[in-house]
Amino acid sequence: MLKKSSNNKSSRKNSSRKPKKLSAVQKAKKEKRKRSFIYSSFVAISFVSLLGFGYYLGSQDHEKRSLDTKRVSSNKIFDGIAENKNTSKTSTVYSDKAGFETPDIISKLMKKQEERSKARREKEEQLSKNKSSKIAIKKGKRPKLAIVIDDVSQLRQIKAIKSLGYSITPSIFPPSQQAKNSHKLASGLKHFMIHLPMQSGSKKMNSMYGMLRVSDTDEKMKARAKEVRKLFPHAKFVNSHTGSVFTSDYAAMKKMYGYLRIEGFIFMDSRTAGSSKVGKIAKEFGDRYIVRDIFIDNTQSIPYIHKQLKKAVKIAKKKGYAIAIGHPHKVTFKAIASAKKIFDGVDLVYIDELYR
């Protein structure tokens, strides 16, 4: 019995002892494990927070894009053409709608996306205002023939056209090295159109000032359309000078067609190449495809030109109208002046009188 009591006392004595002091190495290891646990916890919490924040931004962007999709038309023309390239040079911190601070880069991306959507909506609105799909052929009792004379850059050519006594539309060159003030020929004219140089397979032709090339940037095409509008504030119709390469390039032609359209122009396809994409593009825009039916003076002789004029009249009588293109050659003017009998049964009209 005494022995048992002694053991109990010894046990109580051991249990009341103070904890053993840790060595410096043990303390360092313990502190290290503690810091490691805190760091791991911080990383895990940060990762979960970022996932949550990313999901929040994604849902906001999805809602925004859904609203943008409802505002714009189903015809996504110029998608990606207009981009706002201005970025802030200062590094600042913004807060999102929930009050969380967001890095500058995220705010820039969100702002840029909003600006691009706004620019796209503005283009859609401009395009809808300038829609030429309402253009229709003016109906009449007699077939109509519109003769266009391309390559006009001199006052004497305007006078020669007027002297014919017929309703013939001059297509005037924008200013170039050869005729720096050609745009002034349109002053006082009620009926005319613009003859816009576009890239062809000819190096000589492609050296002309203001020649549109398939390699031109969007900014250059847009600037050219604005320049032409400024030069010819009252013009309505545009056709191409040469242009077999440019009009056959779908991407380039679609961009330029759209920029001309925004400036209020209607593009008439001279169809210098059978591979022209203008018809397809006009359809995509919901526009009437306006295209020449025949060239009248590829061979410069009166008999040949008369033959081509007869074909033009035949086309007009068959479908109700026709568009013929000639050039300001003396022989062309003589042939037209002596074609009174050929024009029996049709009305010669200006290009803008053919449509309403």
* Distances, alpha carbon 314 to alpha carbons 33, 323, 352, in Å: 97, 11, 21
* Distances, alpha carbon 166 to alpha carbons 77, 117, 269, 307, 337, in Å: 40, 50, 23, 19, 9
Q: Is the pLDDT of residue 196 over 70?
A: yes
Rounded to whole angstroms, the Cα distance separating 244 from 31 reads 79
Q: Is the pLDDT of residue 353 over 50?
A: yes
Q: Is the pLDDT of residue 15 over 60?
A: no
Rounded to whole angstroms, the Cα distance separating 227 from 317 reads 39
Q: 144-354 in CATH: which number?
A: 3.20.20.370
Rounded to whole angstroms, the Cα distance separating 128 from 285 reads 10
What does the pLDDT read at residue 90?
A: 44
Encode pLDDT of 246-283 as tens digits.
Answer: 999 999 999 999 999 999 999 999 999 999 999 999 99
Q: Is the pLDDT of residue 70 over 70?
A: no
What does the pLDDT read at residue 119?
A: 76
Encode pLDDT of 154-172 as tens digits.
Answer: 999 999 999 999 999 999 9
Segment holding 290, helix H or strand E: strand 290-291
CA dihedral 147, 153, 154, 155 (to 10 degrees): 60
* Distances, alpha carbon 139 to alpha carbons 16, 144, 270, in Å: 116, 9, 23
Q: Is the pLDDT of residue 94 over 70?
A: no
Q: Is the pLDDT of residue 76 over 70?
A: no
Angle among Cα 196, 199, 204 to the nearest 5 degrees reads 100
Rounded to whole angstroms, the Cα distance separating 149 from 312 reads 14
Taking residues 9-14, what's their average pLDDT? 51
Minimum mean pLDDT range among 39-43, 60-64, 279-283: 60-64
Domain ranges of the chain: 93-129, 144-354
* Distances, alpha carbon 26 to alpha carbons 30, 38, 253, 325, in Å: 6, 19, 78, 99
What does the pLDDT read at residue 123?
A: 66
Q: Is the pLDDT of residue 17 over 70?
A: no
Rounded to whole angstroms, the Cα distance separating 316 from 63 reads 54
Altogether, the residues listed in the chain come to a count of 356
Question: Cβ-count burial of 245 within 10 angstroms (0-12 exposed, 13-18 middle, 19+ buried)?
Answer: buried
User: Which candidate, 198, 189, 246, 250, places its Cα nearest to that of 224?
Assistant: 198
Encode pLDDT of 220-235 as tens digits.
Answer: 999 999 999 999 999 9
Q: Is the pLDDT of residue 133 over 90?
A: no
Q: Is residue 98 very low, low, confident or very high in pLDDT (cuts 50, 70, 90)?
A: very low
User: Which candidate, 167, 182, 174, places its Cα nearest to that of 343?
Assistant: 167
Is this structure's pTM higher than 0.75?
A: no
Mean pLDDT of the chain: 82
Q: Is the pLDDT of residue 31 over 50?
A: yes
Cβ proximity of 225 and 255 under 8 Å: no
What does the pLDDT read at residue 129?
A: 52
